[in-house]
Structure 1
């Protein structure tokens, strides 16, 4: 098994990556097992932040690394909260982020939005040709939260073809439709051809 560091301590992401990539001979280890600090996410795009996180993990572990950066883009807000999605309400958590988003969209008719996810794979810290995969999930922002599953903006993200929010979807359905699922499927295909 090829050991790869995942530039996160998020247990859910580790489990999702492991279950997807195990069949390709990859053993996913979270960077938290190496007791290394989080990378500074000061890039201007999802791609830049994912690359920063992957390169940081490679440099400090000497292993290949996978990192993702994702967030919500709302058309009427010119793509906000975007790369600042998890810190939209100054780090006060999901409920505060959702409340701020609803306040920003008060009276706005165009509520189209999309979740974006970029996943990066670096073979080593100086890898000049990283694998970059991107997934996008189209939807709309509701007027009020609905559903109890998921996290982040899921209770506000209406998935029109499913007739409910991402937070009301069964987990297995979300795992096949989501932006992260799309990017992860691309990564799996790319790694299969290494």
Structure 2
């Protein structure tokens, strides 16, 4: 007998993230819906770590919807900048900054830097309820380098400037399948999918 589809609220309205989550969880029979579909507003993200921000967002979305919720907090961490932009990746150039502005500032700050090493970091958190004492936590890291000239039309965020050395292409030049197979979020999602199956019996 076919299992009923399980619904999970994604604590984000980012279309790029939503596509990646749906692609990963659809085969598991999990319907991932953005929080905006339920009228949920964005949670505050005042913390200095990816884990704390992701947990706050997941609990907020679950409290507003009464459904299990998942959130990710992710960003690019650049060695020469002491790990910045980190948790402030989406707001690097200001609260209302777009991807282009954030990328311009990153490239500007790296002028003259000896190292261009960077990595994308993703922390995923899932809760069954707002008070869930056992949130599921998955992490993923993707190593690369920052390049001055953007390349590629795919992806979002810093992808056009994030070179994957072993491929000789930026994240924005990869197909969705290539990106999901090796990206920070793809790796964290693969771990989370196993946790959902093992711990929640989904």
Q: Distance in 1 between matches of 2:109 and 2:92?
A: 11
Aligned to 2:139, the other structure's residue is in SS state strand
2:133 paired residue number: 128
2:122 paired residue number: 117
Normalised by the length of structure 1, the TM-score is 0.95
- CA drift at 1:156: 1.0
The reply to whether residue 10 of structure 1 matches residue 7 of structure 2 is: no
Equivalent of residue 71 in structure 2, options 62, 67, 80: 67
> How many positions carry a matched residue from both structures?
194
Q: What stretches of structure 1 of length at least 5 have no aligned partner?
A: none
1:53 paired residue number: 57
Aligned to 2:25, the other structure's residue is in SS state helix
With over 3 angstroms needed to count, the CA separation of the structure-2 counterparts of 1:16 and 1:85, relative to structure 1, is same
Q: Distance in 2 between matches of 1:100 and 1:147?
A: 19
With over 3 angstroms needed to count, the CA separation of the structure-2 counterparts of 1:7 and 1:149, relative to structure 1, is same
Note if contact 2:144-2:165 (Cα within 8 Å) is conserved in structure 1: yes
2:47 paired residue number: 43
Q: Distance in 2 between matches of 1:186 and 1:165?
A: 24
The reply to whether residue 144 of structure 1 matches residue 149 of structure 2 is: yes
Normalised by the length of structure 2, the TM-score is 0.91
After superposition, the C-alpha distances for 1:56-113 in whole angstroms (9 at most, x for unaligned) are 0111111110111110000010000000001101132111111111111110111100
With over 3 angstroms needed to count, the CA separation of the structure-2 counterparts of 1:23 and 1:92, relative to structure 1, is closer
Q: Distance in 1 between matches of 2:16 and 2:82?
A: 30
Q: What stretches of structure 2 of length at least 5 have no aligned partner?
A: none
1:181 paired residue number: 186
